[in-house]
Amino acid sequence: MMRLVLFFGILGSVILLGALYVAKAETDAAQARLAGLQAELAQERARINTLTANIAHLEDPEQLRALARTHLGFEPVQSAQELSLVELAQVRAEAERMNSQAPQTAQASWPSVTPPVRGRQ
C-alpha cells in the first residue's frame, strides 16, 4: 500500500514538474514576443516623430517662401504693385473695353454669370 502511495506521489510530482516546465517555456516565449513588439513600437514612434518633424519643416512659412522663390519665381509684393480702389476700377474698365473690342469666340459668347443651381434655393 505504501509503495502505491509513493508511486502515485512521484507520478504526480513528475506531471506537475512537466506542467511547470511547459508553463515556463510559454511564459518565456510570450515575454520574448512582448519585447519584440515593444521594440517595434519604439521604432514606429521614432518614425512618427521624424515624419512629424519633416511635416513641420515643410509647412514652415519661411521654407515655403524660399521654395516659391526658387522654383516658381515668386517674390513678395512691392508697394508699387498695389492698386488703390480708383486704380482698380480703371483697370477693370480697361479690361472690359478690351473684351468688348476682341473678336467673339465660342467661349466669349457664353454668359458671364453662372445660372442658378436647380433643386436647392
Give residue 82's pLDDT. 83
In a domain, 65, yes or no: yes
Measured between alpha carbons, how far is 7 from 1 in angstroms, rounded to an integer? 10
- Asked whether the predicted pLDDT for residue 44 surpasses 70, the reply is yes
Residue 97 lies in a domain: no
Look up residue 65 and give its amino acid: R
When divided into structural domains, the chain yields a total of 1
31 occurs within a structural domain: yes
- Do residues 92 and 98 make contact, with C-beta atoms less than 8 angstroms apart? no
pLDDT at residue 22 above 70? yes
Taking alpha carbons only, the member of 32, 59, 61, 105 closest to residue 24 is: 32
Range of the domain at 60: 2-75
Q: Is the residue at 30 inside a domain?
A: yes
For residues 75 and 58, give the distance between their C-alpha atoms in angstroms, rounded to a whole number.
19
Contact yes or no for 23/15 (Cβ under 8 A): no
Residue 120: predicted pLDDT: 46
Q: Is residue 50 part of a domain?
A: yes
Q: Using one digit for the tens of pLDDT, what is the confidence trace for 87-107? A: 888 889 999 988 888 666 555
Q: What is the pTM of this model?
A: 0.47
